[in-house]
């Protein structure tokens, strides 16, 4: 297990190194000068030159890359061109919204998808199975931003159970935070729970058709006992893959939902930074999100090895 973990960790480090090169140079070559955007079209050339020197934009691109990477390794994400504040502080403030939202959404996804998928697989071909598959197909097809606006209309405007948007802040208490994140989390979780439920059902049905399940049934186990004792554990590998991908999506892909509910998360920060050509913010946030994706995949692979010991010998 230790050798397997070290191999995967080296793969993680190599992936991060490659990703840092791609992210930095892909963003740096985009058209637009941050100094010109900050000072406007009527800025004097000497003023532009002075600002470019202050921001370090007069340095060669390779030198700026190594300075950026060195800062990342030391926990220094640089200073925002637009806000003139440390990028690390900006990310920490926004992550205090996006991370709980992603975890809340993922928890709702798992809580909904697991029992629904298991129920459908245990009653294959029944009315409940067909109904569940129809509902999950509908959940995948409905755009989450449309569902979010529908919930705002029903639960915030008509029933007034929740606020229409905004974030209460951690100073207001845990219940106030959960209330602020409930509607966005449900909007994000609906399509993800539908996808995960379908994957769970499919993985369980494939596992239930394996020879070892037939052997277990021949030894006297009922279909329900075989499902819970043997099939569920062996069906978790594709499910864990989807959960890892979904967490990465929920953390990085909530920009539309954050804008619908006016949440000050990472999605809105990236959108605002791109609009202002704030390169250091865009590069740092994207790199952080890539790190989160790669780290989640690393943890999922370790979970694979825990679920299926055969993978450790590969």
CATH number assigned to the domain comprising residue 178: 1.10.3720.10
Could you tell me the pLDDT band of residue 105, with boundaries at 50, 70 and 90? Answer: very high
CA angle 285, 287, 290 (to 5 degrees): 110
CB 89 within 8 A of CB 304: no
As given in the structure block, the two tokens for residue 190 are: 């609906």
Name residues whose C-beta falls within 8 Å of residue 26's C-beta, 6 or more positions apart in sequence: none
Buried b (16+ CB within 10 A) or exposed e, 214-238: eebeeeebeeeebbeebbbebbbbe
Q: Of the candidates 27, 59, 85, which is a domain's last residue?
A: 85
In total, how many domains does the chain have?
2
Could you tell me the pLDDT band of residue 194, with boundaries at 50, 70 and 90? Answer: very high
As given in the structure block, the two tokens for residue 67 are: 């300075």
Q: Are residues 68 and 131 in the same domain?
A: no
Ramachandran sector of residue 124 (left: φ over 0; alpha: ψ -120 to 50; beta: rest): beta
Average pLDDT, the chain: 81
Tell me the pLDDT tens digit for each residue of 220-240.
Answer: 777 777 777 777 777 777 887
Q: Of the candidates 85, 100, 134, which is a domain's last residue?
A: 85
Q: Are residues 306 and 201 in the same domain?
A: yes
Which of 117-121, 122-126, 309-313 reaches the highest mean pLDDT? 117-121
CA 133 – CA 117 distance, rounded (Å): 9
Q: What is the pLDDT of residue 111?
A: 92
Q: Are residues 170 and 60 in the same domain?
A: no
Q: What is the pLDDT of residue 282?
A: 84
Range of the domain at 37: 1-85
- 299 burial level (CB within 10 Å; 0-12, 13-18, 19+): middle
Q: Are residues 120 and 72 in the same domain?
A: no
Q: What is the pLDDT of residue 112?
A: 92
Instruction: Tokens 């959404």: give the residue.
Output: 105
Q: Are residues 289 and 220 in the same domain?
A: yes
Q: Are residues 92 and 73 in the same domain?
A: no
CB 279 within 8 A of CB 231: no
CB 258 within 8 A of CB 187: no
Residue 295 clears pLDDT 90, i.e. is over it: no
Which of 27-41, 205-219, 296-310 reaches the highest mean pLDDT? 205-219
Mean pLDDT along residues 30-59: 69
Q: Are residues 118 and 45 in the same domain?
A: no
Q: Are residues 210 and 67 in the same domain?
A: no
Tell me the CB-side half-sphere exposure of residue 174, using CA atoms within 13 A: 1
Residue 36 clears pLDDT 70, i.e. is over it: no
The full length of the chain comes to: 314
Q: Are residues 118 and 101 in the same domain?
A: yes
Q: Are residues 152 and 8 in the same domain?
A: no
Cα dihedral 42/45/50/55 (nearest 10): 70
CA 221 – CA 216 distance, rounded (Å): 6
Could you tell me the pLDDT band of residue 121, with boundaries at 50, 70 and 90? Answer: confident
Mean pLDDT along residues 127-150: 87
DSSP 32: -
Instruction: Tokens 């790669």: give the residue.
Output: 294
Q: Which of 155-169, 222-236, 266-280 has the lowest mean pLDDT?
A: 222-236
CA 213 – CA 230 distance, rounded (Å): 7
Q: Of the candidates 85, 116, 132, which is a domain's last residue?
A: 85
299 or 131, which is more confident?
131
CA 100 – CA 178 distance, rounded (Å): 9
Q: Are residues 113 and 73 in the same domain?
A: no
Q: Are residues 81 and 106 in the same domain?
A: no
Q: Considering only the C-alpha atoms of the chain, give the largest distance between any 2 of them, rounded to a whole number of Å.
A: 86
């Amino acid at each position: 297990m230790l050798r397997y973990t070290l191999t995967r960790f080296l793969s993680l480090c190599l992936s991060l190194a490659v990703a840092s090169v791609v992210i930095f140079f892909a963003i740096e070559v985009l058209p637009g000068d941050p100094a010109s955007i900050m000072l406007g079209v009527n800025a004097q050339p000497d003023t532009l030159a002075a600002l470019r020197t202050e921001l370090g934009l007069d340095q060669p691109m390779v030198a700026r890359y190594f300075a950026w990477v060195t800062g990342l390794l030391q926990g220094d994400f640089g200073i925002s061109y637009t806000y003139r504040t440390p990028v690390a502080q900006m990310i920490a403030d926004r992550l205090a919204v996006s991370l709980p939202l992603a975890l809340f959404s993922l928890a709702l996804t798992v809580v909904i998808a697991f029992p629904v998928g298991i129920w459908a697989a245990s009653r294959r071909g029944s009315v409940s199975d067909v109904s569940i598959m129809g509902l999950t197909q509908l959940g995948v097809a409905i755009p989450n931003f449309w569902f979010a606006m529908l919930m705002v209309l029903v639960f915030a405007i008509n029933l007034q159970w929740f606020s229409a948007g905004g974030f209460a802040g951690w100073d207001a208490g845990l219940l106030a935070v959960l209330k602020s994140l409930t509607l966005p989390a449900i909007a994000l979780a609906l399509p993800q729970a539908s996808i995960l439920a379908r994957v769970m059902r499919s993985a369980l049905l494939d596992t239930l058709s394996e020879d070892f399940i037939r052997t277990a049934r021949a030894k006297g186990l009922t279909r329900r006992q075989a499902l819970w004792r043997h099939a569920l554990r062996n069906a978790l590998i594709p499910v864990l893959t989807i959960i890892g991908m979904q967490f990465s999506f929920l953390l990085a892909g909530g920009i539309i939902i954050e804008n619908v509910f006016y949440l000050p998360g990472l999605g809105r920060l990236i959108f605002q930074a791109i609009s202002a050509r704030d390169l250091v913010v865009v590069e740092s946030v994207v790199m952080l999100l890539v790190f989160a994706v790669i780290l989640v995949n690393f943890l999922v692979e370790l979970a694979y090895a825990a679920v299926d010991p055969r993978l450790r010998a590969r």
